[in-house]
């Protein structure tokens, strides 16, 4: 087991990464306020892991409430969030109950938001079971649900007490989701860690073949990057926004097509290619740099062209982005491979041209 720490003063917490951690409830016990917990999962992950996970916790004398939600981004909404509140209130879970999110990014984001707002805040623990949630969404305290007009529009910054990333869980992940998770892994290389990008380029086939050592290495190096950025800028006043490389374009695809058509990682991959193309138009990247961005996503089995929504529809959807400040759209672009910035320098003409070129 490898352990990293997210350093946030009194909100600091550990990330444990390794094989078989789901079967080790002793890792969870020190982080509970009382013996009362609620495990929240979805109807895909639940049948695979819930019974054994809960049995392990109950064997430690914990009283466990189970809540199973419908799976998928299309359910990351208020109605589904409310099923969590209904379940907690029906079983009289109080303010000292710890919520445990067992699942991927959607479960983690929703349970985190439920924890941030149930009785004005209860503790929670992330147990991510997908590559995407292990390398990105479970770390850093961004929680949210979607609104029909924009992704992750309603949410809170709310840190977990612990992240437990069991790499064994990746064995049951569908291929498409494994690839989608790689989009966020590649992202860290592109925005701030050139040696990691080179490592991914050398090991992408091992990752796709689910080599356990390669996956553990990718999860650890991703989490280390994420933890460093979150420590420096918890509430996204500056550097943290660079973690959103490809996300502004990607969210437009997800919202424009309806949540759940493209996986989040797929949309981010196409968005990263658009961002690279736009960075080239600003004179920051070479043609070879852009080809390198395209190539690594293609090798990871990810889309390198966006959905054909039309440039105007993209711009309209992007105007709702959370990085818009005082009416001005800001984008995460690449000054170089391995160095992202947040900028308002891109002209609308160039943005349109990049969208047209990459769809």
Q: Which residues bind its own copies (CB under 8 A)?
A: 34-36, 78, 82, 85-86, 89-90, 92, 94-96, 113, 116-121, 142-144, 147, 149-150, 152-157, 235-236, 319-320, 322-327
258 is written with which tokens? 């309806």
- Token match 């946030």: residue? 8
187 is catalytic: no
Per DSSP, the three-state class of 246 is: coil
Dist. CA 225–CA 288, nearest whole Å: 25
In angstroms, what CA-CA distances link 242 with 10, 153, 191, 270?
25, 18, 7, 16
Dist. CA 128–CA 169, nearest whole Å: 9
Q: How far is the CB of 11 from its own copies (least distance, A)?
A: 13
Per DSSP, the three-state class of 112 is: helix
Bridge partners of 195, per DSSP, are none
Identify which of residues 108 and 181 has a Cβ nearer to its own copies in the complex: 108
Radius of gyration of the chain (CA): 20
Q: How open is the CA angle 58-61-66, to the nearest 5 degrees?
A: 35
Q: How far is the CB of 209 from its own copies (least distance, A)?
A: 37
Identify which of residues 50 and 252 has a Cβ nearer to its own copies in the complex: 252
Active-site residue among 36, 42, 244, 330? 244
Residue 202 DSSP code: H
Identify which of residues 26 and 149 has a Cβ nearer to its own copies in the complex: 149
Active-site residue among 73, 177, 184, 266? 184
Identify which of residues 23 and 343 has a Cβ nearer to its own copies in the complex: 343
147 is catalytic: no
226 is catalytic: yes
In angstroms, what CA-CA distances link 10 with 6, 13, 156, 163?
11, 9, 18, 16
Active-site residue among 151, 187, 192, 251? 251
Kind and range of the H or E run holding 67: strand 63-69
320 is catalytic: no
240 is catalytic: yes
Q: How many residues does the chain have?
A: 359
330 is catalytic: no
Per DSSP, the three-state class of 328 is: strand
Q: How far is the CB of 98 from its own copies (least distance, A)?
A: 12
- Token match 């660079």: residue? 242
Q: Are strands 150-157 and 142-147 parallel, antiparallel or unpaired?
A: antiparallel
Q: How far is the CB of 165 from its own copies (least distance, A)?
A: 23
What one-character-per-residue DSSP string does 121-157 give?
Answer: ---EEEEE-SHHIIIIITSS-EEEEEETTEEEEEEEE
244 is catalytic: yes
Identify which of residues 49 and 259 has a Cβ nearer to its own copies in the complex: 259
Identify which of residues 117 and 279 has a Cβ nearer to its own copies in the complex: 117
Active-site residue among 73, 177, 220, 236? 236
Q: How far is the CB of 233 from its own copies (least distance, A)?
A: 13
Q: How far is the CB of 170 from its own copies (least distance, A)?
A: 29
205 is catalytic: no
Q: Which residues are catalytic?
A: 120, 142, 184, 226, 236, 240, 244, 247, 251, 264
């Amino acid at each position: 087991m490898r352990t990293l720490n997210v350093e946030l003063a009194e909100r600091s917490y550990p990330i444990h990464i390794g094989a078989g951690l789901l079967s080790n409830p002793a890792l969870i016990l020190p982080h509970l306020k009382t013996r009362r917990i609620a495990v929240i999962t979805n109807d895909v992950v639940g049948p695979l892991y819930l019974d054994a996970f809960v049995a392990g916790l109950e064997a430690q004398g914990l009283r466990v409430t189970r809540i199973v939600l419908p799976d998928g981004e299309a359910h990351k909404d208020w109605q589904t969030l409310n099923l969590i509140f209904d379940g907690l209130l029906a079983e009289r879970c109080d303010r000292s109950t710890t919520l445990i999110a067992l699942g991927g990014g959607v479960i983690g984001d929703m349970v985190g938001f439920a924890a941030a707002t149930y009785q004005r805040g209860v503790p929670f623990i992330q147990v991510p079971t997908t590559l995407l949630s292990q390398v990105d969404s479970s770390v850093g305290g961004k929680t949210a649900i979607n609104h029909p007009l924009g992704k992750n529009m309603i949410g809170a910054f709310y840190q977990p007490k612990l992240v437990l990333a069991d790499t064994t869980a990746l064995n049951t992940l569908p291929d498409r989701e494994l690839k989608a998770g790689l989009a966020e892994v590649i992202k860290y290389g592109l925005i701030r860690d050139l040696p990691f990008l080179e490592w991914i380029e050398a090991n992408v086939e091992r990752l796709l073949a689910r080599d356990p050592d390669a996956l553990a290495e990718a999860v650890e190096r991703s989490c280390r990057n994420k933890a460093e950025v979150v420590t420096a800028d918890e509430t996204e006043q500056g550097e943290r926004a660079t973690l959103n490389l490809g996300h502004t374009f990607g969210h437009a695809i997800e919202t424009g097509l309806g949540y759940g058509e493209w996986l989040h990682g797929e949309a981010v991959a196409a968005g990263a290619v658009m961002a690279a193309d736009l960075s080239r138009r600003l004179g920051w990247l070479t043609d070879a740099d852009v080809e390198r961005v395209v190539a690594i996503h293609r090798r990871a089995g990810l889309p390198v062209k966006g959905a054909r929504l039309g440039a105007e529809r993209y711009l309209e959807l992007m105007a709702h982005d959370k990085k818009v400040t005082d009416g001005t759209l800001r984008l995460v672009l690449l000054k170089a491979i391995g160095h992202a910035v947040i900028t308002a320098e891109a002209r609308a003409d160039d943005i349109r041209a990049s969208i047209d070129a990459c769809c």
